[in-house]
Amino acid sequence: MEMSDPIIIYEDNHLLIIQKPPGFLAQPDGGSLRPDILTWAGHYLARYKPGRAFVGLVHRLDLSVGGVLALAKTSKAAARLSRQFRERQVKKTYLALVDGPPPVPSGRLEQELVRDGVITRRARTEEKGVRAVLNWRLDRKAGPGAVLKIDLETGVKHQIRAQLASLGLPIVGDAKYGSPATGPGPAIGLWAWSLALSHPTRQEPLVFTAEPISLWPWSLIK
């Protein structure tokens, strides 16, 4: 699978907003040879900032997910952005290419989720889960499947992947959650399309968007 490089969407003295490609880890994992965003950003900033540049990772995207990712260039920005994410003041909207059409045009999912090994699933009656909430709506049909637009209200690991699979609509390429489709690389049909936050020093509202890149599986609907 062809690997694209991160793209700078926005940059100032405090913020670095990028388009993360699928296949990049958020940070080094200690033994993988895969590229990671923190290392890439450190090299990028070192081009014009002497010494070791500060890079703060204030949220994450899975290895297989691409799209808008925010990084902090100062410790002050990192602390303030982290608080926005923690207090759910940031609006995150995703695109999901799913295996099959949804039964209705829109819906809301509120479930209790638990981690079970390497996956997330719905909690059983006797289990204590973590509350997970998302709202979805049909964006467009895509062959035998569909593209859904997802607004996240919570931030549970693998939340979108697990909750859509519970509807019988696994994300294309996501074999871990039941998709029969396989691709040439790690990418699945989940994309961080939009991120709305407040600037960490100016407090002005900012909205950043990025369209899916034309690689599998998004190339299936181009």
Residue pLDDT, tens place only, 63-89: 999 999 999 999 999 999 999 999 999
Residue 2, pLDDT above cutoff 80: no
Residue whose tokens read 């809301």: 108
Write the pLDDT tens digit of every residue in 165-192: 999 999 999 999 999 988 888 999 999 9
Residue 184 counted as domain residue: yes
Reported as half-sphere exposure (CB side, CA atoms, 13 A), residue 151 has a value of 13
In a domain, 2, yes or no: no
Its pTM stands at 0.93
Bridge partners of 56, per DSSP, are: 72
Which pLDDT score is estimated for 47?
Answer: 85
The tens digit of pLDDT for each residue in 28-42 reads 887 778 899 999 999
- Is residue 129 scored above 70 in pLDDT? yes
Structural domain includes residue 1? no
Active site residue 62: yes
Which pLDDT does position 214 carry in this prediction? 87
CB atoms within 10 A of CB 124: 9
Short-list 1, 19, 21, CA closest to 11: 19
Judged by phi (left if over 0) then psi (alpha if -120 to 50, else beta), residue 45 lies in: alpha
CATH number at residue 152: 3.30.2350.10
CA angle 194, 27, 15 (to 5 degrees): 45
48 has pLDDT over 90 = no
For residue 222, what pLDDT band results from cuts at 50, 70 and 90? Answer: low
Range of the domain at 190: 7-221
When divided into structural domains, the chain yields a total of 1
- List the catalytic residue out of 12, 29, 36, 62: 62
In a domain? residue 30: yes
